[in-house]
């Protein structure tokens, strides 16, 4: 079975990769991804300075999902800029995820990372903006201004990681902005924010930061992820490749993302829980699904979802 795919002119040996944030912070974790069956090495979303992140416990897995409030632990952009050329020895695409706490952060980081020549740069619009303000991806004006500035300093194929949108009007407005800026791929979606999980026995929250509030991932967010993948695939007429993220725990889940319009998928919660063996398992399961459906490749079913 052919699992290869192409995103913004870059060929990926497999349509499965890690999501930025899952086991991809340190040199060791990134090298482990390089040795794995993952189709790419996706870095942690990087900030100006190294960050320890939020106090623990900050991640908790439960039936059908996970909740986290990691606080962007990462090595700082200078470390990743130095690491990216070294990771080339693994012979697979490198996706650098860029974050920040203000517009200048994004421009500074993107400039340096662009010079280190990753294969793709993913601008994470699901990061905090400023205290009391929404995530960048929920502020249309800030999003457009920020992306136009970053676009000027980036020659590497550039895409965006989007938060989940819950209204078609917001998806339509964001698509117009992204079209004007000229992004070359989308990563859809980041975790569903502001969730709360309660431990019935302990009568408490399950993570420490922010009073227990955090981002939800895993199978329970799959319907929202699929909805956003499908909406943006239709809004762009299939001409902008989409990396689907959210709820991929089986080959069938990946197949659903592909049907909705994703050219590749990123795995978060399942990767955290299983480690790199998850990529081989998912490929095997997807091969069975594709074979039963009569497809000879992962790319053959992209966007083929039937509507009633």
Residue 191, preceding peptide bond in cis (omega within 30° of 0): no
- Joined together, the tokens standing for residue 69 give 């409030």
- pLDDT surpassing 60 at residue 129: no
Q: What is the pLDDT of residue 127?
A: 74
The residue written with tokens 């939800």 in the block is 216
- pLDDT surpassing 70 at residue 41: yes
Q: What is the pLDDT of residue 117?
A: 98
**Catalytic residue annotation:** 127
Residue 105: count other Cβ atoms within 10 Å of its Cβ. Answer: 19
Q: How far apart are CA 241 and CA 57, in angstroms?
A: 36
pTM of the predicted model as reported, rounded to 2 decimal places = 0.97
pLDDT tens-digit series, residues 231-262: 999 999 999 999 999 999 999 999 999 999 99
Q: How confident is the model over 3-7, as a mean pLDDT?
A: 98
pLDDT tens-digit series, residues 6-15: 999 999 999 9
Domains along the sequence of the chain with CATH: 5-54+72-194+218-301 (3.20.20.70)
Q: How confident is the model over 191-209, as a mean pLDDT?
A: 96
Percentage of the chain exceeding pLDDT 70: 98
- pLDDT surpassing 80 at residue 133: no
pLDDT tens-digit series, residues 81-114: 999 999 999 999 999 999 998 899 999 999 999 9
The residue written with tokens 């695409």 in the block is 93
**Angle at Cα 48 formed by Cα 128 and Cα 80, nearest 5°?**
115
Percentage of the chain exceeding pLDDT 90: 95
Q: Place 132 in a pLDDT band, splitting at 50, 70 and 90.
A: low
């Amino acid at each position: 079975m052919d699992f290869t795919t192409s995103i913004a002119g870059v060929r990926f040996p497999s349509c499965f990769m890690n999501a930025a944030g899952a086991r991809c912070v340190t040199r060791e974790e990134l090298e482990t991804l390089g040795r794995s069956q993952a189709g790419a090495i996706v870095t942690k979303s990087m900030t100006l300075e190294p960050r320890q992140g939020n106090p623990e416990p900050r991640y908790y897995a439960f039936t059908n999902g996970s909740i986290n409030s990691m606080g962007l632990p990462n090595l700082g952009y200078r470390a990743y800029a130095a690491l990216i050329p070294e990771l080339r020895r693994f012979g697979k695409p490198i996706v650098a995820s860029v974050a920040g706490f203000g517009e200048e952060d994004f421009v500074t980081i993107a400039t340096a990372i662009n010079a280190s020549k990753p294969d793709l740069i993913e601008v994470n619009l699901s990061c905090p903006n400023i205290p009391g303000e929404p995530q960048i991806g929920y502020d249309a004006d800030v999003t457009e201004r920020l992306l136009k500035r970053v676009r000027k300093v980036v020659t590497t194929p550039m895409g965006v990681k989007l938060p989940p949108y819950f209204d078609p009007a917001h998806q339509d407005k964001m698509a117009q902005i992204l079209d004007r800026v000229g992004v070359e791929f989308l990563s859809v979606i980041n975790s569903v924010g502001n969730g709360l999980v309660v431990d019935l026995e302990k009568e408490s929250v399950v993570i420490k930061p922010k009073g227990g509030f955090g981002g939800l991932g895993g199978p329970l967010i799959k319907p929202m992820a699929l909805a956003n993948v499908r909406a943006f695939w239709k809004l762009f007429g299939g001409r902008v490749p989409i990396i689907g993220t959210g709820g991929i725990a089986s080959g069938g889940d990946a197949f659903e993302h592909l049907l909705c319009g994703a050219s590749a998928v990123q795995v978060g919660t399942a990767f955290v829980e299983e480690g790199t063996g998850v990529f081989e398992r998912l490929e095997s399961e997807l091969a069975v699904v594709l074979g039963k459906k009569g497809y000879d490749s992962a790319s053959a079913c992209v966007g083929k979802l039937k509507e009633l």
